[in-house]
Amino acid sequence: MPKPLMQQTADVTVTGKVTDENGGALPGVTVILKGTTRGTASDANGNYSLAVPGGEGTLVFSFIGYKAQEVQVGNRSTINVSLAPDAEALEEVVVVGYGTQQKSLVTGAISSVNQEEIATVSSTRVEQALQGRSAGVTVLPASGSPGSGMRVRVRGAGSNGNAEPLYIVDGMRTGGIEYLDPSEIASIEVLKDAASAAIYGAEGANGVVIISTKTGSKGAPSSVSYSGQYGIQSVGDRMDLMNAQQYAAYLNESNTAGVIPDPADVANVEGTNWLDEIFETAPMQRHSVSFSGGSDKSSFLVNGTMFRQDGVVGGDKARFDRYTVRLNSDHEIKSWLNIGNRLSYSHFERTGIQEDSEFGSVINNAILMDPITPTIYTGALPDFVQTALDAGFPLVRDGNGSIYGLSPYIRGEVGNPLAQLAITKGGTVQNKVVGNIYADMEPIEGLTITTRFGIDAAFQRNHGWNPSFWFSSERLNTVANTFDNNENWFTWQWENYANYQRTIGSHNFTVLAGISALERKYNRLNGSSSGLFAEEDIFAFPDFTPDDNDRIAGTENSNTLQSYYGRLSYDYENKYLLNLTVRRDGSSLLPPGNEWGTFPSVSVGWVFTNEDFFPANDVLNYFKIRGSWGQNGSLSNLTLGQWAAVITSQGIRYPDGNGGYITVAEPAALANPELKWETSEQVDIGLDMGFFDNKLTLTTDYFVKTTKDLITPGTPPRFIGNTLPFVNGGDVRNRGWEFELGFNNSDNAFKYEFAVNLTTIDNEVTFLNPNVNRIAGTGVGTGWTATYFEEGFPIWYFRGYKTAGIFQTQQDIDQYLSENNIAGYDPQPGDPIVVDVNGDGQISPDDQTFIGSPHPEVIYGGRINLSYKGFDFLAFIQGQAGNDVLLAFNRVDRPTANRPAFFYEDRWTGPGSTNSWFAPNTTSTYVYNSDLMLFDGSYARIRQLQLGYTLPNTLTERISVQNARFYVSLDDFFTFTDYPGLDPEAGSNNVNSLGIDRGVYPIPRKVLFGLNFSF
């Protein structure tokens, strides 16, 4: 007999309101019909509505920070629920190596940045989210150009080489985090002290940055979120350059040799302002769409982003485009087994202009180019230009066929920056996959075993070509050529570790033990060719050049790292805290017998306020004292085979006795079987305090970090007969204080929050190979090495002539020479007074000495958040003080180049006119290789001024949209500084060029309009 059809039950709509323990509305509470995927979320007023089949079943109410509650429907149509706080869930949790830990039980120095702060960042780089938001962390942009890198220093520069922190993204070591979009980030933790970073052993010496990406939530209804920004960039206050009249007068007053203009020919003439010509407004935009949801067993998140930024110099020739896709998921397969993944794909395309060089970069040329030369010629050509054209030289023309202006006064690498932009061709494309898959197993209660396999694979191609051009007889390209560089990086990492938690009475234990294996591979294939068939993009490939002109090169290498690690965390009644960590690493980069190193740490803490004798009060509710010691290593400055001997056969031949030659080989460098990694040892003492129910918090740390065995040039005795390229021959110490203060009040409709942080850092080289006086850094122009590494001074300090004012009269000069017994020095009135530092009675290069440091002594940041009903306001400021910046585009080897206007306006014009700036001078090394070119680099920059409004739910519910927020933001808009250059954040891609301004690409200011909503 057939079974009767089951009667369909009608849905019953259940409505209600969810409140907290004080009766306040709770928005965003997840409401799920147990055992199904049917669910909803409460609105801004705590109200919800859910259709329940037949009016039967159980509703599960869950919200972060509150205990989940289950309620039987019982055919009711109205169910109001009050959720109770979950004290354990409300406890802030921070991510540490291979796990998480309650912040109140942390014994190390860890700073956190949450996703709300990250979401407001407009930069292409996630690193900027750390700038000014985390004590002890310095972030310096290498450039303001789109897609440029950033240098991050955790508690100061710890090495003469690469001192970047280790980046861990969802447990995977990555070569960088340029592929991440801020919309993907859930939290960032910075492990600053050695005890916190010791779990990463041989790679934790420069600090560790742990990034966790967003995930879906189990039991949450599916949702779609969108966030978008559109902005306009511009350059604010610009450095004034000499106009045509000032330029001509300065060259004549300084008696500069060569062809110089007659001031009478340019009287009252402004001329060309080359900075105005190259700077432009440029658009930028970001769009992010996220899909997330989950059931009671699984959760997922799919995120896609698009970012595009044009440059304020170069426009689309300095563009950065990035597209990312992320898939994160977690699944409960069994009650004891969870699996999941964190996977991302990114694609970026970057075009860039030449920068960070005094030899031919665009901005540098815009500064140096004389103001008399026009941008293009619109009438008759000057004689020297017509002569060049008649000679068949390939002069550069604009889109209308007009010839770009050529300077009759300046030679060398200096050329018309607009013409330089016109001949800039090519760009870089990279595809990158980063992520891992994992499995968590819990065979017994308290024991979790994790296996995780991850990859970081990047595939990059740089393609470009150089057209033929002629700027002068010293800067030209007569044959068009093309180049291609293909580079691939591939890293795999497999980790297996176990966490065991156990409580025995009042004793709480967590034990971690694990092993890790990692391999990094790299290969490169690059080629070049010349003699293009035609100077067009489609012909800029070797197929369109003669085969005899093709050149090819390439290489491949790999290195491995094997590790064993463990950690014991213990606390007694949340009062007495102890963490012990040890890691043992073996690297293939080191010589046999030296491959392995052990990195231990210990940290302790005492929560004073948890003692029974501590009186309960309404003021101080939390007080923790903590201290730590530990050691970490750094592999950043080791390369494959760096320790081995070098053999060469290049150019070495001997007669074979038969009229021919035999090619032989000989050692080119000695081996160093004792070479080892750099090691950082750090002591930290800290206090964590909470007042007024943790509304006011204060964290203070004092640290001393010493990095030993820096890799420096070797200097064997000459009788050895060969060189020793690398030895462990340097130590550097960073020490300082960190302060973080915050206050949060969200009890009323008007909510406010402020947070400030401040760090002091003292950087000093404390040891250098006794066979070396100092190590030369980078040069400026020709003939001056401006930075050095030397014991007793900061890393890569500025070294040059020290001055003590300006000679006013010949009598002053005679008196100075007589009192100091100086001979062979013939200054003139208006010249700087150069100090005879070594007292040998001569002014010579031996008198060059310490004149400044590129490292800030103080870094700080502060923010204010205000909200009232639907309105919100954010102000964020960041700055630093105590560092110097070298104005390096002013050089003796380009005497006819233009200069900043203050060179003319502040010049010495006679006795008593000024004692701080010299008379017009274009060739003196005592001027241009001295502290006169060094300026205070302190600044305060308002990173954000943002005003937003969130539409009320009564309005957005009509279109099924939630949390719709509009905002306008002024980012990097106001800067307060005395630095006279383009930007006090003078960055560089070279570690020994920190603080050197060669014509830095400025950080653009931005006006941004944004929209966020979900449904």
Task: Convert the pLDDT of each residue in 165-222 to its tens digit.
Answer: 999 999 999 988 999 998 899 999 999 999 999 999 999 999 999 999 999 988 777 8
Asked whether 560 and 202 are in contact (CB, 8 A), the reply is no
Q: What is the pLDDT of residue 44?
A: 66
Q: How confident is the model at residue 983 (pLDDT cuts 50, 70, 90)?
A: very high
Structure tokens at 189: 């933790």
Asked whether 526 and 554 are in contact (CB, 8 A), the reply is yes
Asked whether 258 and 224 are in contact (CB, 8 A), the reply is no
Pairing mode of beta strands 208-213, 185-191: antiparallel
Give the span between the Cα atoms of 718 and 705, in whole angstroms.
35
Is the per-residue pLDDT at 587 higher than 60?
yes
Q: How confident is the model at residue 86 (pLDDT cuts 50, 70, 90)?
A: low
Is the per-residue pLDDT at 648 higher than 80?
no
Give the span between the Cα atoms of 533 and 544, in whole angstroms.
5
Asked whether 506 and 471 are in contact (CB, 8 A), the reply is no
Q: What is the pLDDT of residue 667?
A: 78
Give the span between the Cα atoms of 670 and 714, in whole angstroms.
10
Phi, psi dihedrals of residue 784, rounded to the nearest 5°: -125, 115
List the single range of 25-29, 716-720, 849-853 with lowest mean pLDDT. 716-720
Q: Residue 543: exposed, middle, or buried by beta-carbon count in 10 A (0-12, 13-18, 19+)?
A: exposed
Q: How confident is the model at residue 4 (pLDDT cuts 50, 70, 90)?
A: very low
Q: What is the pLDDT of residue 651?
A: 65
Is the per-residue pLDDT at 713 higher than 90?
no
Average pLDDT in the 889-913 region?
A: 96
Cα–Cα–Cα angle for 232, 238, 242, rounded to 5 degrees: 145
**In terms of Cα–Cα distance, which of 188, 186, 283 is closest to 232?**
283
Cα–Cα–Cα angle for 990, 996, 1001, rounded to 5 degrees: 85
Q: How confident is the model at residue 155 (pLDDT cuts 50, 70, 90)?
A: very high
Is the per-residue pLDDT at 798 higher than 60?
yes
Average pLDDT in the 1006-1014 region?
A: 93
Q: What is the pLDDT of residue 38?
A: 79
**356-370, 632-646, 944-958: which is most confident:** 356-370
Q: What is the pLDDT of residue 65?
A: 67
In whole angstroms, how large is the CA radius of gyration of the chain? 33
Q: How confident is the model at residue 976 (pLDDT cuts 50, 70, 90)?
A: very high
Average pLDDT in the 311-339 region?
A: 96
Q: What is the pLDDT of residue 211?
A: 95
Q: How confident is the model at residue 91 (pLDDT cuts 50, 70, 90)?
A: low
- Residue 809 is classified by DSSP as S
Q: What is the pLDDT of residue 89?
A: 43
Q: Which helix (H) or strand (E) holds 894?
A: none
Q: What is the pLDDT of residue 87?
A: 53
HSE of 904 in the Cβ direction (CA atoms, 13 Å)?
18
Average pLDDT in the 862-884 region?
A: 95
Q: What is the pLDDT of residue 401?
A: 95
For residues 284-304, b (16+ Cβ closer than 10 Å) or e, as one string? bebbbebebbbbeebbbbbbb
Asked whether 939 and 947 are in contact (CB, 8 A), the reply is no
Asked whether 685 and 702 are in contact (CB, 8 A), the reply is yes
**In terms of Cα–Cα distance, which of 44, 40, 41, 74 is closest to 57?**
74
Read off the pLDDT of residues 506-530 as tens digits, 9 standing for 90 and up. Answer: 999 999 999 999 999 999 999 999 9
